[in-house]
A and B are shown apart, each in its own frame.
Chain A
Amino acid sequence: MGSIANAFSSSIGKKLIMGITGLFLISFLVVHCFLNAFVFFDNTGVLFNEGAHFMATNWIIRAMEVVLMAGLLLHIVQGARLTFQNQAARPEKYAYNNGNANSKWYSRSMGLLGTLLLMFLIVHLSDFWVVSRFTGIEQFNGGTPLDAAGHEDLYAVMHAKFSQPWRVVLYVLAMISLAYHLLHGFASAFQTLGWNHKKYTPIIKTLGVWFSIIVPLLFALMPIAIYFGWSF
């Protein structure tokens, strides 16, 4: 067991945690994005609320929520540790460093992008998760937490929140950060897991690029669509 324990304290082990939690969070994004997409198919919000209801009541999902939180936390804590450690590995900085000559700015800025995303997540969670779990939906929904179908009316909360332009802008900016975070993170996770293959790596990289564009775009479209009242 000793070797397993010290594996995670090594540089590669720490990266492994980043990679695994990263991929896990990516899988969460897929689910989240899928549910969000309901708003584009039903502008009464019933479908969306039904989806949200399922997510909130299914015991597997609820159990996964704990795992998700743990994963997110691990990703954040480990990411922060790595960032500080990596900065300490070069105590005296270069007077002039032309990083763009050999790498992409966003691959060098994962800590910064991650911090932006963390700040966004705080806003985002307090916007919805905290409202739904703790402070109550009724304040956004004329005193009742439920929609016509008897589900929690998160759709109404969303409408209320995204009527504020600053929040829309914030969400869109956050999704741009997410896009860049993913643009590096997606393929990087596979590399860290040791999956570099002449045949498959190009596919993963292409997939990563498409994923990093489509998913954040879909997320960003939601506040925009709601703000402008686009109906589908």
Chain B
Amino acid sequence: MSVKRKLNTQYPILNTNKMSTGNMNLTLKVWRQKNNKTKGQLVDYKVADISPDMSFLEMFDVLNENLINKGEEPIVFDHDCREGICGMCSMFINGRPHGPKEGITTCQLHMRSFKDGDTIVVEPWRAKAFPVIKDLTVDRSAFDRVIAAGGFISVNTGNAQDANNLPIPKAQADAAFEAAACIGCGACVATCKNASAMLFVSAKISQLALLPQGQPERYKRVQGMVAQMDAEGFGNCTNTGACEAECPKGISLENIARMNRDFYAAKFISEEEG
């Protein structure tokens, strides 16, 4: 494509290879599964000339482009924002959710975290509550249903009091924010040996339990959300701490303890029936 540089607005990509020519060659073992009804398997793929500056998903883009050019079906995987905040990307890479680096999502993983010649195994999140849709894509709508069961403050739009009428100590607001940083990616479920969703559920319960606005529905909320979590078929927490270690947003196990406390208070102390 020849474009005159008259406008002097260079687009540093797409038409030049000068910036990063990759030299990594990798073997991928990727889970392929046509749909929910068929059985899947790991399939081997080779990718060549990968740049260490690529993100893991961009490496998959390259692989998919190759597959399309060869007339094969590309690998389906969830992804959207590609900056670590939407929570959509979800690959189980070399036995770990979001791959070998801590505190990041799959889309933030870069190829410089691997070595030339590596073999990389890529699987979908696996849990009964997260059925595979296709290849590496799973259905995480169970999380939405858990939120719908109480992960909110019942306040209709309009006529809220002035925001500063409700001072909240900074430490408390910060703690609520830390719990609220959860992106709902499901890495906690994926890595937990029990496929338990307690880190996710407790993060939302904690956020609202830490704030004065969340108090009126505190006990109702914890009972509703835990009941829905159980109904979805997630496993039970056995405190291995894998979820906390793998959470891209550093959500703490303290939240699970807080949820447990609230749950006991709701069931054994509160006079409200849940």
Contacts and interface: CB of A to CB of B under 8 A. Distances in A.
Contacts of A184: 239-240
| Residue from B121, B227, B241 with most neighbouring chain A CB atoms (10 Å) | B241
Nearest to A16: B264
A78 B188 CA distance: 24
Nearest to A111: B238
Given A3-B223, A90-B127, A85 B235 contact: yes
Given A91-B128, A194-B264, A195-B257, A12 B226 contact: yes
Contacts of A92: 126
A174 to B, nearest CB: 21
Contact of B123 (A10, A13, A95): A95
Interface string A164-194: 0000000000000000000010011001111
B140 interface: no
A101 interface: yes
B interface: dominant SS: mixed
Interface residues of B, number: 53
Interface stretch (A28-36, A68-76, A102-110, A127-135): A102-110
Interface centre among A10, A188, A195, A198 (most CB of B within 10 A): A10
Interface string A1-17: 01110110011111110
Contact of B193 (A108, A187, A188): A108
Contacts of A95: 29, 31, 42, 121, 123
Interface residues of A, number: 44
Contacts of B129: 89
A12 B266 CA distance: 12
A97 interface: yes
A103 B235 contact: no
21 contacts: A6-B274, A10-B226, A11-B237, A12-B226, A12-B264, A13-B263, A15-B236, A15-B238, A85-B236, A91-B128, A92-B126, A93-B126, A95-B29, A96-B94, A98-B94, A102-B241, A102-B245, A103-B193, A103-B245, A194-B257, A194-B264
Given A3-B223, A86-B193, 20 more contacts: A2-B273, A3-B274, A4-B267, A7-B264, A7-B267, A11-B226, A11-B235, A12-B260, A12-B263, A12-B264, A14-B236, A89-B127, A89-B195, A89-B233, A94-B123, A101-B100, A102-B245, A103-B242, A107-B238, A196-B253
